[in-house]
Amino acid sequence: MQKDTVTIINNRTNEKFEYPILDGTVGPSVVDISTFYQDTGMFTFDRGYTSTASCRSKITYIDGGKGQLMYRGYDISYLAKNRTFLDTAYLLLNKTLPSKEELEDFSIEMKKRSFIRESMKKLFDAFPDNAHPMAILSASVSALSTFYFEHLDIDKPNEYMEMAKRIIAKMPTIAAFAHRYSQGLPIIYPDLGRGFTENFLYMLRGYPHRHIDLKPIEIKALDTIFTLHADHEQNASTTTVRNVGSTHAHPYAAISAGIGALWGRAHGGANESVIRQLEMIGSVDRVDEFIKRAKDKDDPFRLMGFGHRVYKNFDPRAKILKEIRDKLMEEGIGVNSELVKVANKIEKIALSDEYFISRKLYPNVDFHSGLILQALKIPKEMFAVIFVIGRTPGWVAQWIELQEQPTIKIARPRQLYVGPVDRTPKDD
């Protein structure tokens, strides 16, 4: 049978090269150019990897045109509305949703593993006051590799699982400690009587020996945020985790690097930037001025929480979050109604403005999440940290998938060199 191929003709030499087309279960086909350099002596050029598939994966599928996101074949809205973050984490790691008993066991194990070694607390003492929690988090996750050095060389499923469960369970504790230390507040240890998400909110907000009431709607809102962030195929931070993982570094070093990549405002830092921007705009009568700035080519100002590399119709995560934001407002859970008015006006204008329509710029997951997190009394500096807690199961699932390949190819792109040559003095 004739194989489907793409033919490339080099007009300089008139040579023809054929490359196989590979089909996934769904989504665009890919052209396998892995022998391109060997065949042609040339590299392909793809700044920002906009046309490059870097791996085969069975974890997450996004259809940016339809606004569809699936984890292991399950639609995100099903998981967000009917399941919990722990179900989702289990699904990402084990490839199937858990039964009631499996979920119960997983939850108990998460609780037991949520503590960090007492000696690790000294690390937090070393950071200056007001240190950004993302910096503390990245450093602490890297430091965790010193406590679990045995995870450096793992190749059995039970070893991967232990590594994975450990980091997912400890991430909220490290994150909460990062916040408490950076603010000079007493740390709160995990409470074994509380579930995963409730426990994180408790460690963030609680005080020693003081009862704290967390409303189910607040826990569900944060749990949904975690679920919506759990994986997003080969985005910048996941690609970072896979790239570091491809060198056989410690998995926690790979995740620490992923945290660094996520921190930037073009990625996980956007939710913090959205709130800061909404506060800067301040009132509905100033929205037009900022929309004008966003459209001005000579102004670096961008509307934070708008646009996405993959979603070109709508971001399904943003839709779900908008519903949650409005529900929290109805229930009087402290959503800043002035900022909601500003956000709604920005959204309304942008969705009908030629600049945004022609560039397919829609509200992304970060546009609404900041307002929800603010309503949950989570400080802005912690917004990207929340993203990290949610994304950790995705990172470890992607790391495991990479390690389970028959052979690991180190990530090593090439370049188009445009710098100077022959500058070395000849007679020295």
Task: State whether the Cα torsion 65-345-303-234 is positive or negative.
Answer: negative
Least distance in Å: CB of 249 to ligand CMC?
Answer: 23
> For residues 250 and 391, which CB has a smaller minimum distance to ligand CMC in the complex?
391
Residues 36-75, interacting with ligand CMC (CB under 6 A) = 48
Q: Does 235 bind ligand CMC (CB under 6 A)?
A: yes
Residues 272-301, interacting with ligand CMC (CB under 6 A) = 294
Q: Does 140 bind ligand CMC (CB under 6 A)?
A: no
Residue nearest to ligand CMC (CB): 307
Least distance in Å: CB of 281 to ligand CMC?
Answer: 13
Candidate residues 201, 361, 371, 396; the one interacting with ligand CMC per rule CB under 6 A: 361
> For residues 172 and 268, which CB has a smaller minimum distance to ligand CMC in the complex?
268
Residues in contact with 172: Cβ distance below 8 Å, sequence separation at least 6, in sequence order:
114, 190, 196, 199, 200, 203, 389
Q: Does 309 bind ligand CMC (CB under 6 A)?
A: yes
Strands 68-71 and 74-75: what pairing?
Answer: antiparallel
Pairwise CA distance, residues 426 & 428, whole Å: 6
Given the residues 151, 179, 366, 368, select the one marked as catalytic: 366
Q: Does 343 bind ligand CMC (CB under 6 A)?
A: no
Q: Which of 162, 129, 154, 124 is nearest to 141 (CA)?
A: 124
> For residues 166 and 308, which CB has a smaller minimum distance to ligand CMC in the complex?
308
Least distance in Å: CB of 347 to ligand CMC?
Answer: 12
Given the residues 151, 250, 308, 368, select the one marked as catalytic: 308
Candidate residues 67, 206, 258, 268; the one interacting with ligand CMC per rule CB under 6 A: 268
Q: What share of the chain is helix, strand, coil (3-state, %, to 5)?
A: 55, 5, 40
How many degrees, rounded to 5, is the angle at CA 139 between CA 274 and CA 378? 35
> For residues 307 and 316, which CB has a smaller minimum distance to ligand CMC in the complex?
307
Least distance in Å: CB of 173 to ligand CMC?
Answer: 24
Least distance in Å: CB of 310 to ligand CMC?
Answer: 8
Long-range own/partner contacts, residues 209-213 (CB < 8 A, 24 or more apart): none
Candidate residues 165, 308, 322, 368; the one interacting with ligand CMC per rule CB under 6 A: 308
Least distance in Å: CB of 216 to ligand CMC?
Answer: 27
Judged by CB under 6 A, the number of residues near ligand CMC is: 20
Q: Does 371 bind ligand CMC (CB under 6 A)?
A: no
User: What is the DSSP secondary-structure string of 83-120?
Assistant: S-HHHHHHHHHHSS---HHHHHHHHHHHHHTT---GGG
Candidate residues 133, 190, 206, 305; the one interacting with ligand CMC per rule CB under 6 A: 305
Strands 30-31 and 15-22: what pairing?
Answer: antiparallel
Pairwise CA distance, residues 407 & 275, whole Å: 44
Q: Scanning the structure block, which residue is given the tokens 């708008």?
A: 306
Least distance in Å: CB of 303 to ligand CMC?
Answer: 4
Token code pair at residue 9: 């003709």
Q: Which stretch binds ligand CMC (CB under 6 A): 182-190, 240-248, 322-330, 360-368?
A: 360-368
> For residues 219 and 304, which CB has a smaller minimum distance to ligand CMC in the complex?
304
Candidate residues 26, 108, 126, 266; the one interacting with ligand CMC per rule CB under 6 A: 266
Count of C-beta atoms within a 10 Å radius of residue 207: 10
Token code pair at residue 126: 């070393």
Catalytic site includes residue 229: no
Which residues does residue 387 pair with via DSSP β-bridges, in sequence order?
Answer: none
Q: Which stretch binds ligand CMC (CB under 6 A): 101-109, 306-314, 323-331, 375-383?
A: 306-314
Residues in contact with 187: Cβ distance below 8 Å, sequence separation at least 6, in sequence order:
121, 176, 177, 180, 181, 203
Pairwise CA distance, residues 375 & 238, whole Å: 29
Pairwise CA distance, residues 271 & 269, whole Å: 6
| Amino acid in the structure at residue 161 | M
Q: Does 307 bind ligand CMC (CB under 6 A)?
A: yes
What residues are labeled active site? 308, 366
Q: What residues make contact with ligand CMC under the rule CB under 6 A? A: 48, 235, 266-268, 270, 294, 302-309, 359, 361, 364-366
